[in-house]
Amino acid sequence: MKVTPAVNTFVGRPVERVEDLRYLRGKGQYLDDLQKEGQWCGAVLRSSVAHGRLVNIDTKAALDIPGVHAVITAADLPSVIPTIPFRRPNPTIAPYAQPVIAVDKVRYVGEPIAFVLADSAEIAEDALQFISVEIDTLDPIVDWRASENGATLLFDSTQTNIASVFEARSGDAAEAFRAAPYVRRERFSVQRHTAMPMETRGLLAEWDEATSHLTVWGAAKLPFFNRRAMAGMMGLQETAVDYLELDVGGGFGARGEFYPEDFLVAFSAKHFKRPVKWVEDRREHFLAIAHAREMEAELEIACDLDGSILGMRGTINVDIGAYVRPNGMTPVRNVTQFIAGPYRIANLAFDGRALVSNKTPAGTYRGPGRFEGCFFCERMIDLAAKDLNLDGVDMRRRNLLTQADMPYALATVSPNDGFAETACDSGDYRTTFDQCLNEFGWQEKSPLNGQCIDGLYHGIAIGNFIEGGAAGPRESAKIELERDGSVSVYVGSSGVGQGVETIMSQIAADALEISLDRIRLFHGSTSNLKEGFGSYGSRGTVMGGSAVLVAAKEFLAAFQDAAAERLRVPSDQVTVEGGVARTRDGRSVPLIEIAALELISREATYHGSKQTYTFGAAAVHVSVDPKTGRVNILDYVTVDDVGRVINPLTLHGQVVGAAVQGFGGVFSEHLQYDSSGQLLVGSLADYMIPISTDYPHIRAISLEQYPSPNNPLGAKGAGEGGIIPVGGVVVNAIASALRSFGVEPRSLPLTPPHIWQLIQETKS
Amino acid sequence: MNITLSINGARIEVDVPPRMTLCDALRQKLQLTGTHIGCEHGVCGACTIIVNGRAVRSCLMLAVQASGATITTVEGLAHGDDLSPLQAAFRRHHALQCGFCTPGMLTTLHALLTEEPYASEERIRDVITGNLCRCTGYIPIVEAALDAREAYQRSRESAPL
Amino acid sequence: MLMEADGEAKLLAGGQTLLPVMAFRLAAPAILIDLSGVQELKGISIDDTGVRIGAMTTWRDIEDDQRLRTAAPLVSAAIEHIAHYQIRNRGTIGGSLSHADPAAEMPGVVVACDACLEIVGSNGMRSVPANEFFLGPLTTCLSADEVLTAVRFPPWPATRLWAFEEFAQRRGDFAYAGIALFHETGATGLVENAHIGLIGATSVPRRLGVAEAALNGRRLDGETIAAAAQLASSEADAEDDIHASAAYRKALVGTLLERALKAAAERAEAL
């Protein structure tokens, strides 16, 4: 047997992905590719009214259609309609939980009212129009101010439309502002947009009456939490439910949330003892997927005249839509804590308020709260630098954290809803920042700032961010020896298209010192492990990878013991290297021989409650056509220090992809509502995600200068960071380009018409 | 309605309802689930297949309209066990993440490069404006296509059209 | 068949618009008549009388026909802005014109070019000037028993100056506004026969007559261009929608006309 070199054969190398082999051949297995014998297909009747009282639902005509088997409404569910549980409960949000189907009231256009089951999806969809629904309309709340006002309450049992307030505090902001020589107040906003993965959502559930077991295909992101939630709502033991992961066509934070349809599919499968499948179409995806990002911030900054930031404070009002979803508070909490970014600001006081409205419930989207917070902070710094007649680069460098500050505790957030220790862990942010300036060519490009060349105005900007990752508390992995000497690795991290199979295989191959092709990787299904968590908040690689390391260590110890027994020596006289156990006198036994005797299996858990923080800087060069409002991205450079790179190919791919998503959020993606609460966007022609010609000039560089001290890999959550700085840095560059017009954009998206409008306003 | 068509080199007869789109027929009737449905309104390009040499959206064709056609889907691109040069370039350049848009990207670029093996970067970018990808930011996809051109150029020389 | 169907039937050309409409269940015709097998409706012919393009000719076939780059250059120039590669492989000129979306490129081009639309119905054949064909958004003069068979463009003098300019959020999107323009230069160096077709910022494909009048008989200098651009802005009948305000679209029309006139002039210098 060939002995592979001992350390780091695979980690750090651009290993081509294992999963690509099936994706490239069209052999991936996505949810809609799966059919079960005798399955019924579901279609969801959704509210066409934003806010109203449900008076009557008549399903008779729909039931008469050949091929339609049943129509589920609230009346068919248990007398107490289950509500979807929170992943991070806090003291005030309970009344705002979403029932799995509208009961008494509808609170957003798109809220499920009925679920049709038929022989095919087409028949079920055809039947929807034969269900008549009577709704007494109520005043719709479509913005946070009307919500705050409280004249109309979404939930009768409450006194307020403010579901929760997160407070982030550090130092004494009031005192800092009293004493500061310079203070500025600003208002910024980000528009509602969303993740928009290319595969729509879907689920297939099957109930096995004989074993009283529910199997749900289509797991993503949080399979173990969702299993617990589903079991609780269905009145089943957790072990009576399994969530199985298939190939997943993109997650970006939105897929894998527990959605009302998830319950309806599973309930129907159990109730009718039939496999039930539901696949969302793109138009309903716009109404049903978690929306994100809609918030407005009223902020103040206090500085010394030399540019030292003395304090920041303010209120962020987040329109969270009609209900608090399981992860609905994450963006609110995050923006409150992360507005201050990677800067040493001693005195902070932010209130993040979650306000309900009659719109689709909000959830997480890549860089939740962080994209928004970075936009607010970086805009604020540029405006302050202008007032103070300081160079924005100098002002940023002055306030950036250095290695001497580490660990640097972020502002304390209350209520503490389960996020553990949040302190920047390692890094010298100024060196990474300087590297970004160099890579970008800041010195050479500076003279372009504000210049008009051939009718186009040029601008440059640089901004900074931190990306939290490695959310605890723990993750599990299991390693099993197979008869043929190969190894099966099971990990709690889930796949959403990011390449978890390849990444975990690299880590396992190095830890076990065997070749990549001897490893089979399983992830994301609850059947793999007793307990697991998943992939969210840039945790998949760090937590899952660390769990693989821990399990590998135990596995190798077991191998050592087994080999020692085989070789009839005490275990401590055997060394294991390259998949072979050896005695001092030169005898050896390879793993494959042990496989014939004993199928070693070790499941282990990695515990870690300290978050990792990747720091990064991004710089951009834009040109703006003031006549059309078109912005061209001429160069975009991002440099981040991720501690340790597992696979440069996949990391780089995620950073660049995330940056492009960020451009979509800055320039074109907008889920617009009218005053009656109707969503005005329903197709990919209207919801403009970036296309291939939009942003071709992106460079991403990842460094490994400061490994995280918080986990055995030294890795930090990464990839997500690509999206975080885009808003702040791009808008600052546009403001720089248009400084001769005095344009200072404060709200997104900056569509061509919006930029043109800003220029007109400064002209008049 | 009964239609006969050639798919990935095999002659196939299939009975389809008149209202069934070609992508539904491929996926549901012929189990060719590599062709993905991302929007059903002709915008995302995930369902792109090659019909009589041209890349088209299979969600915007009725199956009955494909009667007599010669069709290539993503399943027909690889050469036996080996990835095609385009597929291999996609893997090398990490031109896919979740893989959902990939079949449409591959079929579109395969049709393009078969006809235009010297297509410029600008042309490649322009052609895939009809294919949405949410993961990659497109840059590695363009790189992969540029890298694969040589193989198409070689096969053009060895078998002139 | 159309007559027998009594309004229940829809003609299916390339299907690149009708099928999405059906997928959204905004239309559910009982009968679809697929025209793709009708060879007589396909093809491009060019002679002394001009260019004739069969209604079922795909964008792709028009794009590939190099002769059109001189025989109908505005048509060729517009094609690359029409949707995307795969759509152009199936979509047809007749389907687009019959759909009559004022945001689409070709309706504006045929109006700008004084094209005639050939129509066949139960009462025989008729030919309708493009500016009479379009009655409103998604509305044409086609009656229920009629089908558009071809579009005929008058001959294109080699000395004619032209330009196509449009502005869309992304490549292939329906434009916020667009301009299809040509004019000639008389012996005295003054503009003659100016034709400006408007795309996007209008409820019906049409020409900008006031701006045209401001160009004809004038030397094409900065002042004339600015004046025409101003008039084109006020003449455009744009409306607010979720993507852009009317004010933006109107201003854009002026900007695009200005750019189109300059592009046309640059083309003259290159001749």
Q: What ipTM is given for this predicted complex?
A: 0.97
Chain A residues within an 8 Å CB radius of C243: 686, 751, 753
Please give, rounded to a whole number of angstroms, the shortest distance from the CA of B51 to a CA of chain C.
10
Residue A155 tokens, joined: 């939930």
Chain A residues within an 8 Å CB radius of B132: 198, 684, 689, 691
Residues of C (73-132) whose Cβ lies below 8 Å from B: 80, 83-87, 89-90
Q: Give me the mean pLDDT over the A439-466 stretch.
A: 98
Instruction: List chains touching C (3+ CB pairs under 8 A).
Output: A, B
Each as own residue / partner, the long-range contacts of residues A436-442 (CB below 8 Å, 24 or more positions apart, any chain) are A436/A462, A436/A616, A436/A617, A436/A618, A436/A619, A436/A637, A436/A638, A436/A639, A437/A393, A437/A462, A437/A617, A437/A619, A439/A619, A439/A637, A439/A639, A439/A699, A439/A701, A440/A619, A440/A621, A440/A635, A440/A637, A442/A393, A442/A619
Write out the residue range of the structural domain in which residue B34 sits: 2-76
Of B76, B103, B131, which closes a domain?
B76
| In A410-473, beta strands by DSSP E | 412-414, 423-424, 452-453, 456-469
Residue A536 near residue A467, CB atoms below 8 Å:
no
Of B51, B76, B101, which closes a domain?
B76
pLDDT digits (tens, 9 = 90+) for A52-105: 999 999 999 999 999 999 999 999 998 899 999 999 899 999 999 999 999 999
Query: Do the Cβ atoms of C242 and A751 come within 8 Å?
Result: no
Q: How many CA atoms lie within 13 A of C204 on its CB side?
A: 11
Query: Do the Cβ atoms of A691 and C251 come within 8 Å?
Result: no
Q: What is the pLDDT of residue A699?
A: 97
Do B61 and B120 lie in one domain? The reply is no
Q: Which residue of A has its CA nearest to B94?
A: A649
Please give, rounded to a whole number of angstroms, the shortest distance from the CA of B131 to a CA of chain C.
9
A316 band by pLDDT with thresholds 50, 70 and 90: very high
Residue A589 tokens, joined: 């036994």
Q: Which residue of C has its CA nearest to B42?
A: C20
Query: Do the Cβ atoms of C86 and B48 come within 8 Å?
Result: yes
Q: If you count residue pairs, one on A and one on C, with CB atoms under 8 Å apart, how many are there? A: 52
Query: Do the Cβ atoms of A753 and C174 come within 8 Å?
Result: no
Chain A residues within an 8 Å CB radius of B77: 25
CATH code (residue B145): 1.10.150.120
Query: Do the Cβ atoms of A668 and C169 come within 8 Å?
Result: yes
Q: Is the confidence at residue A423, as pLDDT, over 50?
A: yes
A369-464+611-763 topology per CATH: Aldehyde Oxidoreductase; domain 4 (3.30.365)
Do B68 and B111 lie in one domain? The reply is no
Q: Which residue of A has its CA nearest to B37?
A: A199
Q: A106 — phi, psi (to 5°)?
A: -110, 145
CATH code (residue B60): 3.10.20.30
Q: Is the confidence at residue A1, as pLDDT, over 60?
A: no
Q: Which residue of C has its CA nearest to A668?
A: C169
Q: How far apart are CA A28 and CA A26, in angstroms?
A: 6
pLDDT digits (tens, 9 = 90+) for A152-161: 999 999 999 9
Q: Is the confidence at residue A7, as pLDDT, over 70?
A: no
Q: What is the pLDDT of residue A2?
A: 41
Of all residues in chain A, what percent carry a pLDDT higher than 70?
Answer: 99
Chain C residues within an 8 Å CB radius of A693: 170-171
Please give, rounded to a whole number of angstroms, the shortest distance from the CA of A65 to a CA of chain C.
17
A421 band by pLDDT with thresholds 50, 70 and 90: confident
Residues of A (657-716) whose Cβ lies below 8 Å from B: 657, 659-661, 683-685, 689-693, 695-696, 698
Residues of B (74-103) whose Cβ lies below 8 Å from A: 74-75, 77-78, 83, 87, 90-92, 94, 96-103
Class of domain C37-153: alpha beta
Of all residues in chain A, what percent carry a pLDDT higher than 90?
Answer: 95
Between the alpha carbon of residue A67 and those of residues A387, A726, C215, the distances in Å are: 69, 50, 65
Q: Is the confidence at residue A228, as pLDDT, over 80?
A: yes
Query: Do the Cβ atoms of A650 and B32 come within 8 Å?
Result: no
Domain boundaries, given as residue ranges, for chain A:
20-29+472-607, 34-138+200-248+255-288, 369-464+611-763
Chain C residues within an 8 Å CB radius of B54: 60, 89-90
Do B49 and B72 lie in one domain? The reply is yes
Task: Check residues A763 and C249 and name the one with the higher pLDDT.
Answer: C249
What is the number of domains present in chain B? 2
Q: Give me the mean pLDDT over the A497-512 stretch.
A: 95
Q: Which residue of C has its CA nearest to A628?
A: C252
C271 band by pLDDT with thresholds 50, 70 and 90: low
Of B21, B49, B76, which closes a domain?
B76
Q: Give me the mean pLDDT over the A393-399 stretch.
A: 98
Q: Which residue of A has its CA nearest to C253?
A: A628
Between the alpha carbon of residue A98 and those of residues A54, A84, A86, A285, A322, the distances in Å are: 16, 6, 10, 18, 8
Place of tokens 């890999």: A713
Query: Do the Cβ atoms of A629 and C255 come within 8 Å?
Result: no
Question: Mean pLDDT across chain C, nearest whole number?
Answer: 93
CATH 3.30.390.50, chain C: domain bounds: 161-270
Query: A34-138+200-248+255-288: which CATH number, 3.40.50.300, 3.80.30.20, 3.90.1170.50, 1.10.3080.10?
Result: 3.90.1170.50
Q: Give me the mean pLDDT over the A13-26 stretch.
A: 96
Q: Say if C170 is an interface residue toward chain B (CB within 8 Å).
A: yes
Instruction: List chains touching B (3+ CB pairs under 8 A).
Output: A, C
Q: Which residue of B has its CA nearest to A502?
A: B97
Please give, rounded to a whole number of angstroms, the shortest distance from the CA of B61 to a CA of chain C.
7
Query: Do the Cβ atoms of C83 and B130 come within 8 Å?
Result: yes
Do B114 and B146 lie in one domain? The reply is yes
pLDDT digits (tens, 9 = 90+) for C113-144: 999 999 999 999 999 999 999 999 999 999 99
Do B141 and B90 lie in one domain? The reply is yes
Q: How far apart are CA B133 and CA B115, in angstroms?
A: 23
DSSP string, A219-249: --S-HHHHHHHHHHHHT--GGGEEEE--B-S
Residue C54 near residue C42, CB atoms below 8 Å:
yes
Query: Do the Cβ atoms of A199 and B38 come within 8 Å?
Result: yes
Q: Which residue of B has its CA nearest to C29?
A: B19
Specify the 3-state DSSP secondary structure of A586.
coil
Chain B residues within an 8 Å CB radius of A689: 132, 134
Q: Is the confidence at residue C161, as pLDDT, over 60?
A: yes
Question: What DSSP state is assigned to residue A143?
Answer: S
Chain B residues within an 8 Å CB radius of C87: 42, 57, 60, 130
Query: Do the Cβ atoms of A751 and C176 come within 8 Å?
Result: no
A6 band by pLDDT with thresholds 50, 70 and 90: very low
Q: Say if B105 is an interface residue toward chain C (CB within 8 Å).
A: no
Q: Which residue of B has its CA nearest to A27?
A: B34
Widest Cα–Cα separation across chain B: 43
C161-270 carries CATH number 3.40.50.460 = no
Question: What DSSP state is assigned to residue A541?
Answer: I
Q: What is the pLDDT of residue C4?
A: 74
A20-29+472-607 topology per CATH: Aldehyde Oxidoreductase; domain 4 (3.30.365)
Residue A343 near residue A309, CB atoms below 8 Å:
yes
Q: What is the pLDDT of residue A635?
A: 98
The pLDDT profile of chain B, 161 residues, written as one tens digit per residue, is: 999 999 999 999 999 999 999 999 999 999 999 999 999 999 999 999 999 999 999 999 999 999 999 999 999 999 888 999 999 999 999 999 999 999 999 999 999 999 999 999 999 999 999 999 999 999 999 999 999 999 999 998 887 55
Q: Which residue of A has its CA nearest to C83?
A: A685
Q: For the packed helices A370-387 and A726-737, what is the interaxial angle rounded to 10 degrees?
A: 30
Q: Which residue of C has its CA nearest to A755?
A: C248
Indicate which of C16, C242, C253, C259 best probes the interface with A, i.e. most A CBs within 10 Å of its own CB.
Answer: C242
Instruction: List chains touching A (3+ CB pairs under 8 A).
Output: B, C
Query: Do the Cβ atoms of C23 and B40 come within 8 Å?
Result: yes
Residue A339 near residue A301, CB atoms below 8 Å:
no
Q: Which residues of C touch A (CB under 8 A)?
A: 20, 24-25, 167, 169-174, 176, 242-245, 247-248, 251-252, 255
Give alpha helix (H) positions in A370-476: 370-387, 392-399, 429-440, 442-445
Q: If you count residue pairs, one on A and one on B, with CB atoms under 8 Å apart, how many are there? A: 172
Indicate which of A129, A628, A689, A692 best probes the interface with C, i.e. most C CBs within 10 Å of its own CB.
Answer: A628
Residues of A (61-100) whose Cβ lies below 8 Å from B: none
Same topology between domain A20-29+472-607 and domain A34-138+200-248+255-288: no
Of C174, C242, C251, the CB nearest to A756: C251
